[in-house]
Structure 1
Amino acid sequence: MEKRVVKISVRTLVEFILRAGDISAGGKGMRDTNAMQKGSKIHRKIQNAMGGDYRPEVSLSLEMPMERDGVSFSLVVEGRADGIFTRDGRTVIDEIKGMYLDVLKLEEPFIIHQAQAKCYGYIYALENNLKEIEIQMTYCNLEEEEVKRFQKVFSFEALKEWYENLINEYAKWAVWQIKWEQKRNDSIKGVDFPFLYREGQKELVKGVYQTILRQKKLYIEAPTGVGKTISTVFPAVKAMGEELVEKIFYLTAKTITRTVAEETFHILRDKGMKLKVITLTAKEKICILDKPDCNPASCERAKGHYDRVNDAVYDMLVSEDEISRELIEEYALRYQVCPMEMALDVTLWADAVICDYNYVFDPKVSLRRFFQNEKKHNYCFLVDEAHNLVERGREMYSAILLKDDFLAVKRIVKMRSRKLDKRLSACNRKLLLLRKEWEEAKEAGIPYAPHSLVDQFVLMVMNAVTELDNFLNEFMDFEGRDKVLELYFDIFHFLNMYEIMNDKYKIYLNEEDGHFFVKLQCMDPSDNLKACLEKGRSGVFFSATFLPIQYYKEQLAGTNEDYAVYVPSPFDVGKRRIFVAKDVSTKYTRRNYVEYEKVVSYIYEFVTRKKGNYLVFFPSYQYMKIIYDYMEGLEWQERFQDCEIIMQDSHMTEREKEEFLENFEENSSKVQIGFCVMGGIFSEGIDLKKDRLIGAVIVGTGLPMVCDDRELFRSYYEERESKGFEFAYLYNGMNKVLQSAGRVIRTAEDVGVILLLDERFMQKQYTALFPQEWYPYEIVSLSSMKERLDDFWRQFE
């Protein structure tokens, strides 16, 4: 076997091998990992203050030949020492850690932190023939900027013995990885595309591969039936086999699309590819407790988790390839570890990770083990149903703090910490002042720019969060701890977003249901998404509804150098008809019984021309209920008596969702109508193939309700792009329409009809967003629609 080079950072090495003890959601250093941005400023300040011969940010690397289990390889351990200087004739390695803890209370350095410094000390001593070296740990509080240092002198021999034990422990993992990657790559080379190419599919596969090869981004608008999942996964896996890709992240917005991705990888494995693929399940779903509480006092798995988890992960890696939720739960039970934390550790070694967008893009829950530093890796991001990422991105990078939450936590902590009580009171006073000025400006009808007051509020919040950190470390179990933790993390996220806030943000004050809040609203997520994507090699974004493509490309961090492609539908357009009603309006100002009568009439004539299964999509639950009640009236009840109507509920469990869909059977001998909401769980990601669904009625244009949030977006984009209505309302609404309509034709055998009920669909700004395969569409009245439906269905009798 060819000699391999395995590279690992000092930090990753020590954190992986030396971790031990309990999981704790509120223990020491709980924000240490997340203090990086602010910590870098503290680093520079401390480094600049040292003077003399102090050398900051010294790159160190050590390559050592190793032999284990018949595998020869070189292990390269690399990193940067925060500082190296001389004191009293002795070389000192300085490791600086910015923390939110009260550092003056520390009695000794953290083992993991000191281990990093010891690695640097050994490498430097080896390079410079030093018999001993001093390790200095410098801890600095990120708010108060108080500093505490620990010093210890180590002999070269002691460091050498310690370091060799460390890398020998890691060697079994390196050997497993080398053997596995060789086996995987060999298996990938021998597998061809597993299906006959559909029209346009071969070009799509080639385009994805070339995008990865050239380290670009690709934006694909491809209708249902093109085979987007296999067309993106296959070339990404091929690129992995050629060592262009280190890891594939298949990112989804919904659970159903994760299942499709799992099935696709399974197809490739059936063809002979060796791939380790893991699907991440949300913490709330996989936790062994009814409600996650990551403390040893509450969860038996949390106690000593880190003492056992490496053995559990290694056992799974050598025994399993397809790593399902059930397998994670099985191994976690066997080794008595947290299933969620174990799954996250497995991702380090998996070839592909199937997960929600959050794990890559959301700063609150992203996989920091992959994205916590600025180093670029050969990751490939495959983003499914990527139109969802625009709104999700805006949510992820926004932050909100409610005034009431400060008062609620103040009441909880008052008897335990006078200092924290005082800090929270200061925050509340500043919020009162903000609300007063905001109300006065609103009453006067003048714009209010709260930046200076918000800056002052942020200072108060920074003081409070330090005290919150100390409080949560001192008090581990008390009534209301969940509420305190919730505010703690909300503040932390708020401060993080405040740090990165730029001209693509708006500071937004408002009051809803009597609750006043300050919000850092992300208006355009492209900069933040770009920062994440730049940690990898390539990003491929794909959706059946990506119109207008330029809008999505801009919002999803695309540049002029990136690619955008449209893949034509492979389906026979003769098997589908699209009708637009010319005499119906669902505008809010036109909602009356005259229009309701028209809507119900169209639905009735549409579904009774042929027995079968239909979905009717409404702009809101309220409108859906109005139409349902109208149909229950005496005049219409008798006419619909042979139709079975089921209605989506606003809070459906997974089982209730499955039961809803089970009503749509093949070869239906009755008229089955499902009432659903556009943008809801049945408008995207469900597959009712063949005649399980033969028609869909789209009631309205799907435009979001006019509200303060939407108007904020409208004014922002009107000012910058002169397209305020389009960016805030139109594109979002039409995407819901296209997704809903996309439920009808899922396979080449499907036959179906689509009815758009709103006269606005005839306007140019709406028809410009119709996909190519919607042409030609037909404008109809109630009477002409009946005739055309009869003509259409007669072809398939």
Structure 2
Amino acid sequence: MEENKEMKQVKISVRPLVEYAYRSGDIHTGFQVATALHEGTRIHQQVQRTYKESDLKEVPLKTEISYDNIIYLIEGRCDGLINLEDGQMIDEIKSTSGHLADLHGGHDIHWAQAQFYAYMVAKEHDLNHMRVQLTYIQVTTGEKRQFRRDYSLSELEVFTLDVVKSYAPYISVRLQNVHLRDTSIQALSFPFDTYREGQRKLAGAVYQTIKEGKKLFVKAPTGIGKTISTLFPSVKAMGEGLLQHIFYLTARTTTRTAAEQAFVRMKSRGLHIQTVTLTAKEKVCFQEKTSCRKEDCPFADGYYDRINGAILDILSQETLMDRSVIEHYARKHNVCPFEFSLDVAYAADVIICDYNYVFDPRVSLKRLMEEQKRHTVLLVDEAHNLVDRGREMFSAGIGKAEFLQLQREFKGVDTGLFEASKAVNQYFINLKKDCGEHRQKLWKEHPADLISLLESFVVQAEIGLIQQGESVAIARQLLLDTYYAAQNFIRIAKLYNERYVTYAEVHRLGVTVKMFCMDPSLLLSQAGKGFRGAIFFSATLSPLSYYRDMIGAGEDDYSLSIDSPFHREQLDVRIEPLSTRYHDRENTKNALVNLLAELVQERKGNYLFFFPSYQYLQTVYATFIETYPEVTTIVQGVGMAEEEREAFLASFQGDNKETLVGFAVLGGIFSEGIDLQGDRLNGVAVIGVGLPQLGLERNLIKDYFNSIGKNGYDYSYVYPGMNKVLQAGGRLIRSEQDTGVLMLVDDRFLQRQYQGLMPDEWK
């Protein structure tokens, strides 16, 4: 939807308009029919090839409807416009994996969409009557079923006006909020009394980048106030009509909170803007066990019967819609909080969410049209995380074990699922033989034979899941999980290029195949295409050339490096040349323990020690508490729950009576995105240079970048490792008043290569 404030015009497509008016029933997504979507284009073309020469296909349509002082500029594209002896007929083509016999005359939303197209044609060509046809194609069998209805122009006029009337309360609230937003932005000043050193420069660069429609890569030190320095100029750009939407993308909950707090501060200065925070389904779900079937969840059952009222209510009452606000209104209206937050997001000015909603091909906000993208900026916080997250999002793996289990479950129960699962399982049996004694196989193409087998499996799985018969109930969750894994594998195969490698591994649980994206830069760049601008910022975007390369910068995109606003005297950096290499760790363990103990005995306070692995942490920790039992310690656990994380951080208080030492992992939840100001943290020790563990994937990355003329070892090991070090060290000085000791334990920190990657204040 695009608003023109002066003309009181609203531009919208037919589909979202009729979906708003006609959606009803429950959330169908324990499962969604992805094959129907995937096959849709092919099936449309197959039907359209049967049209006569005089018939038209993919016909663009436009109309205007005025209601309640608003002009609705409505656009659409009908699948077919067929010439009949007695007039014209709209043909709306839909593909389905279900039984055609279950259609019972066609779906209301499909009829509504086709009727709207019929009105647009009739009005444009001054026709008194139109025929409407729904054509359903079964994707597996190719079977066709059609339904037809006739409408007079007056019937179509009444229908379209009713659709617009049902949409009017929603758009009225949206337009009112946009007016309040733009008015408040005009009067908004920077929400702090003064700019910190470097903040004005960053804010100016962000605004200019948005104005010019470019990307900006920013290395700005911890404590400068990057969040407000990127959000404030983006909000001002919105007030000047350059933007309609802001995406604030984060990798962690802690950085999400910083964005929310920035809007609370701007709201206190008069800003009226609607923000929504998206929280992972597993975290926000009201049920003990997440299941979106209406039989299992009252918040999914009848969701679409209640959602429009819930959205109108929250948009009329709230501006800053964080998790607690979303949950409150979700309970009030008895709707799923996760789906509710997504539906609210399409109406919000600002969306605060994880990277995957924009970059991940599996979960992105699909309804964000190209037109909306052109008025949207991406603010990517802690952007150093995007490289490995990109690899993860664009890679896909699948294993043998699930297909063997499904083969056993459906033997003699469901022939289609049994045969499809058996075929995939047999592929893995053959692959295991190919792997031989090395228990591994590498190749440079996507596994076409496996993908073909998975496509056949997906069709059978969809039929079973849609019918939801007794046979599927036996192993529904396993089938559903395997179905999604197969769909993802097929989807990623379409992205496969020379930056990928495929590998198979034989292990204790069977055989797995993975299409591994070694270089995500092209796909990240493509995912960010079409947006007005993008700002990638972090305290540790170093070296900038590496991150520009890996995130996909264009030649004319900008870079900015801002010096630290803090004084060198605030930070006492010490390098201890003690080897922490794997083969030296046992020999240097006691010396390391003594070094750490000397550090905390110098001055009472709170300290964090960061280790490159849990195993190394536990080994040193055991010796430390045995040698120095008088020191109070806490340890980061594996897979800590949110409450445990909060308790860990809450232990670091400025008025602690005794010294406290926290043992944590480099690159973990406490090494970035946390803010322990003042005496909450007095010292940090980083043990080792943070190199990722040696392994197949890291070596594949190294070999790939060597092959294209880059330093593969730096790209695969040194830069990612040093980034963890910089992040951990950055926990210490968070404001102009903070002081502390940073101990870097490893002789490699004295090497020129590593010295060159350190910020000036560390040298």
TM-score > 0.5, shorter chain as reference: yes
Kept after mapping to 1: 8 A contact 2:138/2:144: yes
Cα deviation code 1:267-305 (max 9, x no counterpart): 111000111111122211221211111111111222211
Offset, 1:694:
1.2
In structure 1, how many angstroms separate the alpha carbons of the residues matched to 2:499 and 2:92?
36
- Quick one: which of 574, 580, 584 aligns to 1:586? 580
Tell me the alpha carbon deviations over residues 236-285 of structure 1, each in whole angstroms, 9 at most, x when there is no partner: 11111122111111111111111111110011110001111111222112
Alpha-carbon distance in 1 for matches of 2:467, 2:553? 47
Residues 1:489 and 2:484 aligned together? yes
Q: What's the secondary structure of 1:592's corresponding residue?
A: helix
- For the pair 1:277 / 2:271, whether they are aligned, the reply is no
Structure 1 residues 496 and 597, CA gap change in structure 2 (3 angstroms): same
* Equivalent residue, structure 2, for 1:766: 754
Point out the more displaced range, 493-502 or 79-88.
79-88
| 1:514, distance to aligned residue in structure 2 (A) | 3.5
Instruction: For residue 708 of structure 2, give the secondary structure of its aligned residue in structure 1.
Output: helix
Question: Which string of whole-angstrom CA distances, capped at 9 and with x for unpartnered residues, describes residues 163-182 of structure 1?
Answer: 11111111222222222211
What is the rounded CA distance, in whole Å, between the counterparts of 2:497 and 2:173 in structure 1?
Answer: 45
- The change in CA–CA distance for 1:450 and 1:548 in structure 2 (over 3 A counts) is closer
What residue in structure 2 maps to residue 654 of structure 1?
642
CA distance 1:15–1:666, shift in 2 (3 Å): same
Could you tell me which amino acid in structure 2 is paired with residue 523 of structure 1? M
Instruction: Sort the Cα spacing of 1:104 and 1:400 in 2 relative to 1 into closer, same or farther, 3 A.
Output: farther
From 344, 355, 358, the equivalent of 2:356 is 358
Cα distance between partner residues in 2 of 1:122 and 1:462? 39
Query: Counterpart of 1:743?
Result: 731
Deviation, structure 1 residue 60: 0.9
Query: Which among 501, 506, 520 is matched to residue 506 of structure 1?
Result: 501
**Is contact 2:219–2:561 with CA below 8 Å preserved after alignment?**
yes
Q: Structure 1 pair 617/448, CA: closer, same or farther in 2 (3 Å)?
A: closer
The answer (yes or no) to whether the contact 1:104–1:146 under 8 Å persists in 2 is no
Distance 1:38 1:769, change over 3 A: farther
Counterpart code for 1:542: F
Q: Deviations over 1:587-624 (max 9, x none)?
A: 1232332x112212321222222221111110101001
1:31 aligns with 2:28: no
Pick closer, same or farther for the CA change 1:82–1:648 going to 2, 3 Å.
same
Q: Deviations over 1:445-473 (max 9, x none)?
A: 9x743748x21221111111111001011
Contact 1:26 1:472 in 2 (8 A): no
- Give the corresponding residue for 1:251: 249
**Partner of 1:793 in structure 2?**
none
TM-superposed deviation, 1:21: 0.8
1:308 alignment counterpart:
306
Give 1:93-242 correspondences, 5 Å limit.
93-101=90-98, 106-142=103-139, 145-195=142-192, 196-242=194-240
Q: Deviations over 1:372-422 (max 9, x none)?
A: x78744111111111111111111111111110111222333353111111
1:276-425 matches, within 5 Å, as 276-370=274-368, 376-425=373-422
Give the aligned partner of residue 784 of structure 1. Answer: none
SS in structure 2 at match of 1:219: strand
Alpha carbons of structure 1 residues 52 and 761: separation in structure 2 relative to 1, 3 Å: same
The yes-or-no answer on 1:573 pairing with 2:568 is yes
The answer to whether structure 1 residue 540 and structure 2 residue 538 are counterparts is no
Q: Contact (CA 8 Å) 1:26, 1:473: kept in 2 or not? A: no
The residue aligned with 1:66 is 67
Give the alignment's TM-score, normalised by structure 2. 0.95
Distance 2:499 2:113 in 1: 38
Aligned partners of 1:397, 1:138: CA distance in 2, in Å? 35
Q: Deviations over 1:621-643 (max 9, x none)?
A: 1001111222345xxx2xx2442
Q: Secondary structure at the match of 1:369?
A: coil
Q: Measured at CA, do residues 137 and 499 of structure 1 come closer, stay the same or move farther in structure 2, by a change above 3 Å?
A: farther
Residue identity matched to 1:31: V
How big is each residue's C-alpha offset from its partner over 1:137-160, in whole Å with a ceiling of 9 and x where there is no partner?
333455665544433333222222
CA contact (8 A) 2:442 2:501 kept: no
Q: Paired residue for 2:443?
A: 449
Structure 2 partner of 1:603: 596
Measured after TM superposition, the shift of residue 691 of structure 1 is 1.5
- Could you tell me which amino acid in structure 1 is paired with residue 362 of structure 2? K
Decide whether the 8 Å contact of 1:308 with 1:335 is kept in 2.
yes
Match of 1:695 in 2: 683
Question: Which amino acid in 1 is paired with 2:275?
Answer: V
Instruction: Measure the CA separation in 1 of the matches of 2:55 and 2:500.
Output: 39
Structure 1 residue matching 2:486: 3-state secondary structure: helix
Equivalent residue runs for 1:660-675 within 5 Å = 660-675=648-663
Aligned to 2:608: 615
Q: Secondary structure at the match of 1:387?
A: helix
Which stretch of structure 1 is more off in the superposition, 152-161 or 204-213? 152-161
Q: Give the counterpart letter for 1:18 in structure 2.
A: Y
What per-residue deviation string (whole Å, max 9, x for no partner) do you get for residues 60-100 of structure 1? 11122332xxxx22111112122223133532222233444
Aligned partners of 1:745 and 1:752 also within 8 Å: yes
For 1:319 and 1:488, how far apart are their aligned partners in 2? Answer: 40
**Distance across 2 between alignment mates of 1:121 and 1:138:** 15
User: Matched residues in 2 for 1:307 and 1:229: separation?
Assistant: 38
Work out which of the residue numbers 6, 10, 13 in structure 2 matches 1:9.
Answer: 13
Structure 2 counterpart of 1:522: 517
SS at match of 1:24: coil
Query: Within 2, Cα distance between the matches of 1:555 and 1:49?
Result: 47
User: In 2, Cα distance between the equivalents of 1:357 and 1:289?
Assistant: 25
Amino acid at match of 1:581: E
Q: Distance in 2 between matches of 1:229 and 1:142?
A: 48
> What is the distance in 2 between the residues matched to 1:214 and 1:450?
39
CA separation of 1:315 and 1:514: change in aligned 2, threshold 3 A: closer
Distance 1:376 1:50, change over 3 A: farther
Question: By how many angstroms is 1:548 displaced?
Answer: 1.3
Question: Is residue 611–residue 668 contact of structure 1 (8 Å, CA) maintained in 2?
Answer: no
Q: How has the CA–CA distance of structure 1 residues 396 and 369 changed in structure 2, closer, same or farther, with 3 Å as cutoff?
A: same
| Rounded Cα–Cα distance in structure 2 between residues aligned with 1:12 and 1:253 | 30
Matched residue type, 1:53: S
Equivalent residue letter for 1:360: V
Once the two structures are TM-superposed, the CA of residue 770 in structure 1 deviates from its matched residue by 1.2
Q: Secondary structure at the match of 1:25?
A: coil
Give me the whole-angstrom Cα distance separating, in 1, the residues matched to 2:618 and 2:345.
45
Q: Is the 8 A contact 2:97 2:466 kept in 1?
A: no
Residues 248, 381 of structure 2: 8 Å contact kept: yes
CA contact 2:98–2:467 (8 Å) conserved in 1? no
Note if contact 2:442-2:502 (Cα within 8 Å) is conserved in structure 1.
Answer: no
* SS in structure 1 at match of 2:72: strand
Selected match of 1:467 from 460, 481, 488 = 460
Q: Which runs of 5+ in 1 are unaligned?
A: 778-797
Give the Cα–Cα distance (whole angstroms) in 2 for the partners of residues 374 and 267 of structure 1: 31
Quick one: percent identity of the two aligned structures? 39
**Count of aligned positions:** 756
TM-score, normalised to structure 1, is: 0.91
1:22 equivalenced with 2:29 (yes/no)? no
In structure 2, distance between residues paired with 1:772 and 1:127: 68
- Specify the code of the residue in structure 2 equivalent to 1:517: T
CA deviations over 1:657-685 (Å, ceiling 9, x no partner) = 22222222214443321111101111111
Superposed displacement of residue 555, structure 1:
2.0
Compute the displacement of 1:325 (Å): 2.2
